[in-house]
A = this chain, B = another copy of it.
Amino acid sequence: MSKPSNIEVTNTEPESVDTGKNMKLILARAKDQRNFCPVRDVIHRISDKWSLLSILALGTYGTLRFNALKKEIGDVSQRMLTVTLRNLEEDGFVSRKIYAEVPPRVEYQLTEMGEGLMQQALRLADWANTQLPGIISSRENFKKN
């Protein structure tokens, strides 16, 4: 649990699925790390209601103050934006700079790791978009049965 000494998951070939014994290793590790799995961890972080939108907004504008970000996202509550940003900051995806002024000014921006996360999200978005028609028709088909 200390350090991930050897990474079994190294899908450099996006077209092919790892098969056979390698998959068993991956599965075994996934089960092992049930309570501390980096994948689930990252997914959990971006799967809440506002993280992705916050990351996308920061990626778009570079730097945003709290209320500018809030206005940009639109319908997020003040509380939830604070919680979201603190979590992202804690994990190192977002940096937070406080300027000692009155009234206070706080600026948020993506860290390098945060930009990496956004790229992962965009990738997933790309794939999801291509799959969308299939998902929708599958759902409609499911309803009928």
List A residues at the B interface (Cβ < 8 Å): 3-4, 7, 9-11, 14, 17-18, 23-24, 26-27, 30-31, 34, 38-44, 46-47, 52-53, 56-57, 59-60, 72-75, 89-92, 113, 115-135, 137-139, 142
Contact = CB atoms under 8 A, between A and B. Distances in A.
Nearest to A125: B39
B56 A30 contact: yes
Nearest to A90: B142
A39 B52 contact: yes
A117 B134 CA distance: 13
Given A39-B124, A43-B124, A127-B120, A135 B91 contact: yes
Contact of A89 (B113, B132, B142): B142
Contacts of A124: 39, 42-43, 120, 124
When all copies of this chain in the complex are counted, the total is: 2
B122 A38 contact: no
A135 B125 CA distance: 23
A40 B54 CA distance: 13
Nearest to A119: B17
Contacts of A89: 142
23 contacts: A4-B129, A4-B133, A10-B126, A11-B122, A17-B122, A18-B122, A23-B59, A26-B56, A26-B60, A27-B60, A34-B74, A38-B132, A42-B124, A43-B47, A43-B124, A44-B47, A91-B135, A91-B139, A92-B134, A92-B137, A92-B139, A116-B127, A120-B123
